[in-house]
Amino acid sequence: MRALVIDDSRAMRRIVSSILTGLGYEVRDAGHGGEALDVLNEGWVPDLATIDWNMPVMDGLQFVSAVRSNPAWRSMTMMMVTSESEHTQIVRALAAGAHEYVIKPFTADAIRDKLALLGLLPQEVVL
Amino acid sequence: MTTFDTAERRRTVEARPVIAELIDAATVQAIAEEAWISLVGEEEVLVPLPGELPADVLSSWVDVVGPWTGSVVLTTGRRTAEELTRALLRDSAPAELEEEDVADAFGEIANVVGGSVKAALPGQSALSLPSVGTGPDVRNAADVCRIDLLWRGEPVAISVQGALPALPAPRTTPVHPTYENEVPL
Amino acid sequence: MTLTATSFDWVRQVVHRESAIVLQPGKEYLVEARLLPIARQMGLTDVGQLVDNVRTRPSPENTRRIVEALTTNETSWFRDGDPFTALTTTVLPALQASRTHGERLQVWSAACSSGQEPYTIAMLLEDAMPNASSRVSITATDLSREMVERTRAGRFSQLEVNRGLPAPMLVRHFTRAGNEWEVNATLRRMVTATECNLSAPLPRMGPFDVVYLRNVLIYFDLSTKQAILRRVRSLMRPDGWLFLGAAETTLGVDDSWERVVLGRSSAYRPLKGA
């Protein structure tokens, strides 16, 4: 399975990428929503996108809306991974079309639990 | 009518809560501990004891703009900031850390801590992207909540500090009719 | 450092035996940090004393506390999701068909820890049946007073709500309270939390339609397992449902139960006449 990790922080991209790689994903990353759309337009459409909210150029919510407006990208599961943690923000992201929401700070187990809920764990993981 | 006279400005400032009314040191400590577990490592411990910061310090911060306006600032020795960066990057840390790696990783910790502080404050606020450098000056000593911690024996200070002069009040604070139709951040 | 090499080795052996998790040498500080609160609660000054205490007077409860402190960071919501899926797909429809209108459904979460299990059950029932809060009562019990108080408070840290709780359920059933999240009052009213020691005679409770007794029996010897299952059975309705942990079974322990396969999980039902 493929995952696209979208975050303006390189450190955070590395953290999330290494969790997903450890779960068996093939991972690419992008520094903001615009770069992520470039990846999709190349034809590399992942099973999962993890999306930060606050990013320069194009933020996470704009990215989610852009993906939702293109039927070709319907199959992609979108999971916000962000420090935006108010109730209203989570509601906004879900309303815009995000499927799941992980609040920073999170642990590796949190990502694994959410993927299990979404049916997106590529393999049985032995700890 | 858009001008502020001095008296109105003062009232606006007085109508704003100071941080001590909104968050306490124990909450900031709990927020920091969670951020450390998540970012730095699941067995990383922050000890609530003050230490003496070295001369060469680095700060990272995010601004919070809302009913309360200010910054959430992390300050530590430059070497500790580098060590934090290595802990964050784990296996993918380069042999030689560049300035940019440290700014990015240390900034992300401020982002995560700041996001949780923002969520613990009442009302709606907006968060800026993180900055890294010498840090914003404390403008109002009465509007600061600071905790001093030790991480791996090295001091780390976290300060939630108000900004003065205050930014225009959001419309939840009824101080001036001009702001009634303003879109909240 | 109060932990001797012998004490550390004992902890490693216990944790490995009970959970199959290997604590590498060098994790002494982790053992110290996680077990010190337990030692203090027991009125002991350090972890060395705790280990000596449990070694000389073996107690499944204290063993369980030690193992849990070292192996679980945060309990997940919907932990091993299948027993919860079975609740709404099979168990609830069956109970609704056999109960008269107005009968209150009684559920027991028998080792509730910090409350994730009883509130997971409450959320599922609230979403599955109208007016659930007046038709369901959930009894949550734990050995530890601290855990019972946490369950009662219904407040969870950011790290805890990230663990396996679907975001739509978080926004539907929780509100922010400072830097924590609080379960809504409707759900809190469904849950009554009390202290209860499963290996001693049980208080008057129930009768229960559904019991979740998960990841508890593994810590006890055979005769205690049998006694616990017998006592649990006496508090259940004859057509009730018991859920055990994924690694637990009544088979070979107590033959008065019938195992029923429900999708990917199993439930146990009292055998008639047994």
Confidence band of B3 (pLDDT split at 50, 70, 90): very low
Cβ contact A87–C159 (<8 Å) = no
Of the candidates C249, C213, C219, C258, the one whose C-alpha atom is nearest the C-alpha of residue C231 is: C213
* Cα C84 to Cα B110: distance, rounded to the nearest angstrom: 38
Catalytic annotation on C34?
yes
Query: A-chain residues within 8 Å CB-CB of B92?
Result: 14, 18
Q: Is C166 in Cβ contact with A106 (below 8 Å)?
A: no
Structural domain span for residue A15: 2-126
- Does pLDDT of C15 surpass 90? no
Quickly state the pLDDT bin for C2 (edges 50, 70, 90): low
Chain B nearest CA to A12, separation (Å) = 7
Q: Which of C12, C64, C79, C142 is catalytic?
A: C142
The distance of B124 to chain A (nearest Cα, Å) reads 8
DSSP B112-181: HHHHHHHHHSSS--EEPPPEEES-PPP--TTSEEEEEEEETTEEEEEEEEE-SSPPPPPTTS-S-GGGGG
- Reported ipTM: the value is 0.90
Q: Do A86 and C74 touch (CB under 8 A)?
A: no
B119 to chain C, minimum CA–CA distance in Å?
Answer: 7
Using an 8 Å CB-CB cutoff, list chain B residues near C33: 43, 45
Is the predicted pLDDT of residue B167 greater than 70, yes or no?
no
Number of domains composing chain A = 1
Most confident by average pLDDT, A92-96, B5-9, B164-168, B174-178: A92-96
- Chain B residue at shortest CA distance from C29: B43
Which residue has better confidence, C2 or B64? B64
In tens, the pLDDT along C137-167 reads 999 998 878 889 999 999 998 889 988 899 9
Q: Which of C34, C65, C150, C214 is catalytic?
A: C34
- What's residue B131's pLDDT? 94
* B4 or C256, which is more confident: C256
Contacts of residue B67, defined as CB under 8 A and 6 or more positions apart, other chains included, come to B16, B17, B121, B122, B123, B124, B125, B169, B170, B172, B173
Residues of C whose CB is below 8 A from B43: 29-30, 33
Burial of C215 (0-12, 13-18, 19+ CB in 10 A): buried
pLDDT at B182: 39
CB pairs < 8 Å spanning B and C? 24
Domains annotated on chain B, with CATH: 2-165 (3.40.1550.10)
Residue C44 makes CB contacts below 8 A (sequence gap 6+) with C50, C53
Q: Is the dihedral of CA A20, A21, A23, A29 positive or negative?
A: positive
Task: Decide: C21 and C15 in contact? Cβ < 8 Å.
Answer: yes
CATH classification at residue A92: 3.40.50.2300
Q: What is the pLDDT of residues B15-56, one digit of tens each?
A: 678 888 888 898 999 999 989 988 898 778 888 888 899 999
